[in-house]
């Protein structure tokens, strides 16, 4: 444990244990909406500079530097938007659900600051259709923020206006991808757009749009209030600030844990999530949601940071950790994730539409004892034919479970094909 972890104090979840934590009165009682008062006394450029200096990177999976994105928003456009991504669908991830259900005002405060900094007059929240409680919490929180003068005309006497509304998705994983989300907000099927142009240039209704995940936006008030230096003092060289890790699978205490970036997987699993259930041995870990390559038990000293996970052949993704113990069949784990991606492919481009189904069929027949010699090579070849040649990042994502499972546990796949059943019994 390093020095900054010893002194680490949760900020994003600091109110979530309180009764009525979602209410504006609770938020105000515990220092809420102070950052926006401070922000409105600064110039937009000062705010953009603060976010750049904080080192904040996007928490929705891609990890793009937030301040750089703010800087990409054109200064002279007649109308600009902020789009707030609450379309949490990456298997293993449930942090955004907790944020919106338990502390939505923290996000609204971040949205107001971001909108003011980039000159946006309208904010659209997109929320996953299945999050029924989340929708209700968003609607109530926005209404209360209007009533208290944090949204609407002339916010806190600053002359800055911002309107905000909530829009429900209707069950499509791909709408978490930013351009698919914009299509869906426009009332269309969620087919991702080709990039460039990026949403900061051509976004919602073809106007410049700043798109952020809600955990990213939740960081903003704290950066403004405590200063970018405070934020940048937490974490590693390239991964700064606090992070909410969703931990699930074979642990004793699944749940969300807010901890610094850079903390090791071992510490999260064993010191926070209660270790492996039943005292069993750890076998594999997915570190950042279903689309990130899995790691093995001997890799858990790796710090949870963008650069360290990349170096280890995986990704930080959403920081959603799925823990699998020694009883897990890796063919079945890969098969199940492949089924998810085959189900969720939007069908717009061929490698993903056809390839995702072919990958699932191959894994399914191995799992059912119908595997043929050469199937492993065929899976890897199919993955090669998908990765890097699709419209959106889903192609690269969907090959990760099978590829990484074969990389680390190839003998299990071979055993399955030869013996027609699982090595773990």
3-state secondary structure of 267: helix
User: 152 in helix, strand or coil?
Assistant: strand
- Using the rule CB under 8 A, is 305 a contact of another protein? no
Query: Does 94 engage in binding with another protein (CB under 8 A)?
Result: yes
Shortest Cβ distance from residue 348 to another protein (Å)?
10
Q: Interface residues for another protein in 340-399 (CB under 8 A)?
A: 340, 343-344, 346
Q: Does 173 bind another protein (CB under 8 A)?
A: yes
Q: Are 5 and 259 in contact (CB under 8 A)?
A: yes
- Of residues 133 and 237, the one with the C-beta less far from another protein: 133
Using an 8 Å Cβ cutoff, are 112 and 150 in contact?
yes
Which of 21, 54, 179, 246 binds another protein (CB under 8 A)? It is 246
The Cα 215–Cα 232 span in angstroms is 16
The interface region with another protein, picked from 82-90, 112-120, 216-224, 263-271 by CB under 8 A, is: 82-90
Q: Smallest gap, in angstroms, from Cβ of residue 306 to another protein?
A: 22
130 touching another protein, by CB under 8 A: yes
> Is residue 30 a contact residue for another protein (CB under 8 A)?
no
CA 82, distance to chain mean position in Å, is 17
Question: Of residues 23, 57, 97, 105, which one binds another protein by CB under 8 A?
Answer: 97
Among 259, 333, 392, 398, binds another protein (CB under 8 A): 333
Q: Per CB under 8 A, does 170 bind another protein? A: yes
Dist CA 375 CA 174 (whole Å): 28
Edge to edge, the sheet with strand 320-325 lists 255-260, 242-249, 320-325, 282-286, 295-296
Q: Examine residue 184 and tell whether it contacts another protein (CB under 8 A).
A: yes
Min CB(218)–another protein separation in Å: 16
Under rule CB under 8 A, how many of the chain's residues touch another protein?
53
Return the closest-CA partner of residue 286 out of 356, 333, 352: 333
Cβ–Cβ under 8 Å, residues 121 and 82:
no
Q: Per-residue DSSP letters for 93-128?
A: --HHHHHHHH-HHHHHHHHHHHHHHHT--EEEEEE-
The residue from 70, 131, 160, 360 that contacts another protein (CB under 8 A) is 131
- The CA distance from 71 to 52, in Å, is 9
Q: How far apart are CA 128 and CA 60, in angstroms?
A: 14
How many CB atoms are closer than 10 A to CB 77?
16
Least Å distance between CB 283 and another protein?
11
The reply to whether 104 sits near another protein by the rule CB under 8 A is no
Decide if residue 254 touches another protein (CB under 8 A). Answer: yes
CA distance 74 to 201: 7
274 binds another protein per the rule CB under 8 A: no
Based on the shown chain and the rule CB under 8 A, indicate whether residue 88 belongs to the binding site for another protein: yes
Told to check if 205 binds another protein by CB under 8 A, we report yes
Q: Which residues bind another protein (CB under 8 A)?
A: 88-94, 96-97, 128-133, 167-173, 184-190, 205, 246-250, 254-256, 286, 290, 320, 322, 324, 328, 332-333, 336-337, 339-340, 343-344, 346
């Amino acid at each position: 444990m390093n020095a900054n972890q010893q002194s680490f104090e949760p900020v994003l979840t600091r109110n979530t244990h309180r009764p009525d934590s979602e209410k504006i009165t609770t938020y105000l009682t515990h220092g809420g909406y102070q950052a926006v008062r401070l922000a409105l006394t600064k110039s937009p450029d000062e705010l953009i500079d603060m976010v750049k200096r904080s080192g904040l990177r996007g928490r929705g999976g891609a990890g793009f530097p937030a301040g750089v994105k703010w800087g990409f928003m054109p200064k002279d456009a007649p109308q600009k938007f902020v789009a707030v991504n609450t379309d949490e669908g990456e298997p293993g991830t449930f942090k955004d659900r907790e944020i919106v259900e338990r502390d939505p005002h923290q996000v609204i405060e971040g949205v107001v600051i971001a909108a003011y900094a980039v000159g946006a007059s309208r904010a659209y929240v997109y929320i996953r259709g299945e999050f029924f409680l989340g929708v209700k919490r968003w609607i109530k929180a926005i209404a209360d923020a209007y009533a208290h003068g944090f949204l609407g005309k002339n916010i806190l006497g600053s002359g800055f206006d911002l309107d905000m509304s909530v829009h429900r998705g209707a069950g499509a994983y791909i709408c978490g991808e930013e351009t698919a989300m914009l299509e869906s907000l426009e009332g269309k099927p969620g087919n991702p757009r080709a990039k460039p142009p990026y949403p900061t240039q051509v976004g919602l209704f073809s106007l410049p749009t700043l798109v952020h995940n809600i955990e990213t936006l939740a960081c903003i008030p704290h950066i403004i209030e405590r200063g970018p230096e405070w934020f940048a003092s937490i974490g590693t060289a390239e991964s700064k600030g606090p992070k909410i890790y969703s931990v699930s699978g074979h642990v004793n205490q699944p749940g969300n844990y807010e901890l610094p970036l850079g903390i090791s997987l071992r510490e999260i699993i064993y010191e926070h999530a209660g270790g492996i259930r039943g005292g069993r041995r750890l076998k594999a870990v997915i570190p950042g949601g279903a689309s990130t390559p899995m790691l093995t038990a001997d890799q858990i000293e790796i710090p949870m940071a963008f650069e360290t996970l990349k170096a280890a052949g995986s990704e930080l993704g959403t920081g959603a950790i799925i823990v699998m113990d020694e009883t897990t069949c890796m063919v079945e784990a890969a098969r199940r994730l492949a089924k998810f991606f085959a189900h969720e492919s939007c069908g717009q481009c061929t490698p993903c539409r056809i390839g995702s189904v072919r990958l699932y069929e191959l894994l399914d027949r191995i799992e059912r004892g119908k595997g043929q010699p050469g199937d492993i090579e065929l899976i890897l070849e199919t993955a090669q034919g998908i990765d890097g040649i699709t419209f959106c990042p889903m192609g690269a994502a969907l090959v990760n479970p099978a590829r990484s499972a074969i990389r680390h546990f190839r003998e299990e796949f071979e055993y399955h094909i030869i013996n027609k059943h699982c090595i773990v019994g």
